[in-house]
Amino acid sequence: MPRRPVIGIATQTLEAIPGKLPLCWVMGQRYVRALTGAVPWLVPLLPDDEATLRAVYEHLDGVFLTGGVDVDPASYGEPRHELCDRTDPPRDATELALIRWAVADKKPVLGVCRGIQALNVACGGSLYQDVTAQHPRAIKHDYFPTADRYPRDYLAHPVRVGAGSRLASVLGAEQVQVNSMHHQGIKALAAGLRATAHAPDGLIEGVEKPDAGFVIGVQWHPEELAEQHAPMRRLFAAFVEACNGG
Q: What is the pLDDT of residues 151-163, one digit of tens each?
A: 999 999 999 999 9
Asked if residue 171 is part of any domain, the answer here is yes
pLDDT (average), residues 22-29: 94
Residue 16 and residue 173: Cα distance in Å, rounded? Answer: 41
pLDDT digits (tens, 9 = 90+) for 38-48: 999 999 999 99
Asked if residue 152 is part of any domain, the answer here is yes
pLDDT digits (tens, 9 = 90+) for 214-235: 999 999 999 999 999 999 999 9
Average pLDDT, the chain: 96
Asked if residue 1 is part of any domain, the answer here is no
pLDDT (average), residues 109-132: 98
Alpha carbon 138 to its chain centroid, in Å, reads 21
pTM across the whole model: 0.96
| Residue 19: predicted pLDDT | 78
Annotated catalytic sites, by residue? 113, 221, 223
Dihedral angle sign, alpha carbons of residues 124, 130, 135, 137: positive
Total tally of structural domains belonging to the chain: 1
Asked if residue 181 is part of any domain, the answer here is yes
2 has pLDDT over 90: no
pLDDT (average), residues 113-132: 98
- In the chain, what percentage of residues exceed pLDDT 70? 100
| Residue 219: predicted pLDDT | 98
**Residue 188 · residue 146 · CB < 8 Å:** no
29 has pLDDT over 90: yes
The boundaries of the domain holding residue 127 are: 6-243
Output the domain CATH number for residue 112. Answer: 3.40.50.880
| Residue 246: predicted pLDDT | 78
Asked if residue 184 is part of any domain, the answer here is yes
Pairing relation of β-strands 157-161 and 194-198?
A: antiparallel
pLDDT digits (tens, 9 = 90+) for 182-216: 999 999 999 999 999 999 999 999 999 999 999 99
Instruction: Report the alpha-carbon angle 1-63-12, nearest 5.
Output: 115
At a CB cut-off of 8 Å and minimum separation 6, what does 70 contact? 84, 85, 86, 87, 114, 129, 184
Asked if residue 98 is part of any domain, the answer here is yes
51 has pLDDT over 80: yes
21 has pLDDT over 90: no
| Residue 185: predicted pLDDT | 98
| Residue 80: predicted pLDDT | 97
